[in-house]
C-alpha cells in the first residue's frame, strides 16, 4: 500500500461560539456548509488516486487523479478552495512535513488516508507475491507488530497537527479495504492462507486508524463494507492485482474510487 462539512464563517460570533465549544468538548464541530469554505485532501496513494488513471500532469510523482474521490467530491460540491495535497507513497512524516501548508482557519473540511506506507505494506505485498506463503506470513506479522505498537502515536501526531492548523475543520479519516476475496476466482497467485493474512493485517491497520481518529474527535469512514464483493479475486474487482504500471498494483480502480471511497467519504462528511 503505497490505502470530511465546512461551517459558515459569516459572523465572528458563530466562530467564537464554536471555538468555545471545542474548548469544552475537545471534539470537532460538524460545519454547516462544506461548499462555503475550503476543502483539503491529504494522505497517500489511496487518496491521490493511484490506480484510477487520468493523472494530473502537474502533480508529478504524487500521481493525483481527476478520478480520485477528493477530486470527484470537489467537482460535485464546489468548495471555496481545494487543496489537493495527497501524494503517492506518503507516510505520516510526509504529511507533517509537506501536506499541511494549505490548512488554515478557513479550511472547513479535511480528508485523509495514511498509515499503510508507515507499516511497509508495499514491501509486504512484494514479499507475499515473490517469496511464498511462509515469507509472506512473516512479513505480515512484522507489519502488524508495527501497526499495533508504533503506528497509533504517529497517527495521533498527524491528527493533532491537522487540528492545530485547521481548527474549524470537519476531518474525515478513511481506512483501507480488504484486498482479497477468500475464497475467490483467482486460479493463480498467492495462497488463500496469505490472502487471509493480508486481509487480517488490513483489519489491524484499520482498527488502529479508527481508534486514533475517534480519540482525536474526527469522523471515521470505513470503506470495507463498500468493497465487500469487489476485492481482488471477485467477479467485479475494484482493486488492481499485480499490474503494469507496477505502482498501480493493489490500489483502487476508478470504480473503487467512485463507488467505494467517494460514497464513504460523502456520508462521513455530512
pTM for the model stands at 0.86
Pairwise CA distance, residues 116 & 184, whole Å: 24
Pairwise CA distance, residues 234 & 186, whole Å: 8
**Per-residue pLDDT tens listing for the chain (270 residues):** 444 333 333 333 333 333 333 333 333 334 445 555 899 999 999 999 999 999 999 999 999 999 999 999 999 999 999 999 999 999 999 999 999 999 999 999 999 999 999 999 999 999 999 999 999 999 999 999 999 999 999 999 999 999 999 999 999 999 999 999 999 888 788 999 999 999 999 999 999 999 999 999 999 999 999 999 999 999 999 999 999 899 999 999 999 999 999 999 999 998
Q: Which of 178, 230, 240, 251 is catalytic?
A: 251
Domains observed in the chain = 12-269 (3.40.50.1110)
Mapping DSSP onto H, E and C, the string for 138-156 reads: HHHHHHHHHHHHHHHHHHH
Active site residue 219: no
CA of 22: how far to CAs of 16, 39, 109, 197, in Å? 10, 20, 16, 40
Q: Which of 18, 45, 111, 113 is catalytic?
A: 45
Picking from 195, 191, 193, the residue whose alpha carbon sits closest to that of residue 232 is 195
Tell me if residue 191 falls in helix, strand or coil: coil
Active site residue 240: no
Amino acid at each position: 500500500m503505497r490505502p470530511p462539512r465546512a461551517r459558515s464563517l459569516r459572523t465572528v460570533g458563530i466562530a467564537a461560539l464554536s471555538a468555545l465549544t471545542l474548548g469544552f468538548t475537545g471534539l470537532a464541530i460538524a460545519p454547516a456548509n462544506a461548499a462555503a469554505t475550503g476543502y483539503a485532501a491529504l494522505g497517500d496513494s489511496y487518496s491521490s488516486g493511484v490506480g484510477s488513471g487520468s493523472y494530473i500532469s502537474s502533480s508529478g510523482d504524487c500521481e493525483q487523479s481527476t478520478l480520485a474521490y477528493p477530486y470527484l467530491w470537489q467537482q460535485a460540491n464546489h468548495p471555496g478552495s481545494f487543496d489537493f495535497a495527497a501524494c503517492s507513497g506518503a507516510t505520516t512524516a510526509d504529511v507533517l512535513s509537506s501536506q499541511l501548508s494549505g490548512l488554515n482557519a478557513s479550511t472547513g473540511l479535511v480528508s485523509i488516508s495514511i498509515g499503510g506506507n508507515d507499516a511497509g505494506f508495499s514491501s509486504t505485498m512484494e514479499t507475499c507475491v515473490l517469496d511464498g506463503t511462509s515469507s509472506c506470513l512473516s512479513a505480515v506479522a512484522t507489519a502488524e507488530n508495527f501497526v499495533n505498537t508504533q503506528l497509533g502515536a504517529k497517527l495521533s501526531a498527524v491528527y493533532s497537527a491537522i487540528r492545530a492548523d485547521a481548527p474549524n475543520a470537519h476531518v474525515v479519516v478513511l481506512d483501507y479495504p480488504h484486498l482479497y476475496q477468500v475464497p475467490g476466482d483467482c486460479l493463480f497467485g498467492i495462497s488463500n492462507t496469505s490472502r487471509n493474512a493480508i486481509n487480517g493485517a488490513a483489519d489491524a491497520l484499520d482498527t488502529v486508524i479508527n481508534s486514533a481518529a475517534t480519540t482525536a474527535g474526527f469522523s471515521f469512514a470505513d470503506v470495507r463494507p463498500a468493497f465487500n464483493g469487489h476485492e481482488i479475486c471477485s467477479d467485479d474487482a475494484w482493486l488492481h492485482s499485480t499490474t503494469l504500471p507496477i505502482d498501480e498494483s493493489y490500489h483502487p480502480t476508478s470504480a473503487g474510487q467512485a463507488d467505494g471511497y467517494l460514497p464513504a467519504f460523502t456520508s462521513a462528511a455530512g
